[in-house]
Amino acid sequence: MWAPTSIPMALRWKPFGRYFVSEAAHVWTGKMKVPETTRKGYLRYHLYDRGKRTKWYAHQLVMFLFSDDPRVGALVRHLDGDPLNNLFANLDYGSAKQNAEDRDRHGRTARGAKVATAQLCREKVQLIDKLYDAGGNTFTDIGNLFGVQPSTIRRAYHRQTWGHVPKEN
């Protein structure tokens, strides 16, 4: 059987249609294909099968080809949290809950001011606590002060949002 040359042969390679795919998500068709990088930092290939273009995330392609239990479209986790590390040994199938736990552990979960729609920041949440706990201020008063809805202030104060910010005593 033919195998790719002039590329890292220490890696395992498997055929996939007219392509060869390595366990590190390299795709070869006589030359190395260059993946696109998505907005979230994942690598994605545009592959063709009988003239039809399909999109494959690099990590899903590697798991599909190298796993003993291939699952099309299943959730694939990057164990080290790096979406560019698509080496088979760094990948595993998992649940949405496990994936969320991985994101938290690796610091990739958007929280607080990192959320694109955030109207508050950590310092304002801590100030909300002080203003409300001092008495005399309603959620409406504090909302007017910060230019946000009273419900935003209430949810932050009760940590329905901003739960990662500890309440100060």
Domains, the chain: 13-105 (3.90.75.20), 112-157 (no CATH)
Examine the pLDDT at 52 and tell me if it is beyond 70: yes
Angle at 166 between CA 165 and CA 169, to 5 degrees: 145
The answer to whether residues 150 and 143 touch, using CB atoms and an 8 Å cutoff, is yes
pLDDT per position as a tens digit, 100-132? 898 888 877 777 777 777 899 989 999 999 999
For residue 168, which amino acid is it?
A: E
pLDDT of residue 153: 95
Q: Residue 4 and residue 96: Cα distance in Å, rounded? A: 36
pLDDT of residue 7: 57
pLDDT of residue 1: 39
pTM, 2 dp: 0.66
Please name the helix (run of DSSP H) or strand (run of DSSP E) that holds residue 100, with its range, or none.
Answer: helix 96-105
Token output for 73: 């479209």
pLDDT level of residue 47 (50, 70, 90 thresholds):
very high
5 or 136, greater pLDDT: 136
Q: Residue 36 and residue 154: Cα distance in Å, rounded? A: 43
